[in-house]
Chains A and B, each alone.
Chain A
């Protein structure tokens, strides 16, 4: 176990380095710079500002300065929001996205797994077709469609929830459902195929032959193995869920991290892009590690890997 964690953490270093370097180079290759605007700055002003942020240095010097700061854990100030440091912005916005993402994850799992499992048990029946059709709709409908529809029904018409904001416990419901449904649909499909696969195994036949109730067979024997693909999917999915969704956070006016990811790139806010990209990379690495640990616990064969 410790070996695995240590190995993964060591592997993370070159991964992050590659991500950082690629992002750094891609950003510099993108046309336009952080200080271009509708009314262009006088050249001498632009020079001053660029000198202020060290953007006048040769590219390799900028790169090493950037890596140096990174090692100190310093993402530097945002170009777009002078006065705010990148880590300050992440620290303010991430907890909100984290909470929203965890609620979304909860919904995704508690809707997705039962639907997928049920569909597999009722294989080749109209129940399965209905449930999987529902999941397909979930995958096809983007959140900028689901969100406004939910708002129209539950907020504007029924007046059960506030249409925007993040102040009350009830404000979590609609955004979390919007966010969770998409993932629920994927999870349902994975759970179904996992379950179908497992139900064909000999040990399930044995369990059934012993006279166990079908529910016991499914829950105690099949489910753990059947969820293996779901768990593998959860690593990147959870990282995506908790790092904020541009669409959901914009529709519901939630002060999370999502809009910063997108706007940082559009604004050519180099520091902010580097900060958010690396933050996301760390989250993915972390969650993949957690997933590996969970999978080891689920599957004894993997422990000796």
Chain B
């Protein structure tokens, strides 16, 4: 009864504040869409200058989507002035390759591709000398994918991670600031002079913001699947369950930390301390690459478990059994923080 009264009030206040509603429900779609275009953009064809290179090699290179510029003579200055990604020269029977290397990782790929092209050209030449008709382009390995398909991009992994992160971030911030407002305006203290029990108060907050988290999850997932074409192999109910648990953790951390903030600005100061580190541990950087102590630290990041579970469900299509460990971890976080919240509310009323 009292719980529903407090919930009703939370809803009413929220929907009076149109900007916060927009932040909660529209901002994630905006960021997701931007991310989608960042990671799914078509790479431009590398520009390669060639000097004194055999016609057959140029053909192979062009087949590999190189943009070829033929020069009579060229040097390092040409690479800079014509903005070439690389320059391949045949001199005294050996190849030399000058790379611009302004982006080391794409330079590496370019070198690899050039090497492959040269090797391929040599093989064809050799085969021709031996009189074998070898058509290299026809060789194609039959590839099968356990998860996803040949179209799977990085965004397929990133999408589920982001969906979890949004719920965490927005619920943390909005619930934390809302409770802070109740503290500073004195309404929390005033509520505590009524016969409301502390658990009733906290339940209202959990349920109220839980509803927002579920709506946000639905909007984000439906948008991701229908508009952005993110795969959803598993059940949407499992996605909602994961996000609901994560929202409980975010809410309880937010409300607990609001105890240590005396203004909205101080609440925002928790973002770099509490929220940003979470995103480093969600699997955008594979955990196996991290130092041992960082891997231990990841165990204390709630978003890490949620992102993992979301990836299992959305990308790999796993069911409850595969994510039970993650769900358990999230539940433990939630229970611990709920207890801490109940204790912190004691200072408003000693019964």
Q: Do A and B come from one complex?
A: no
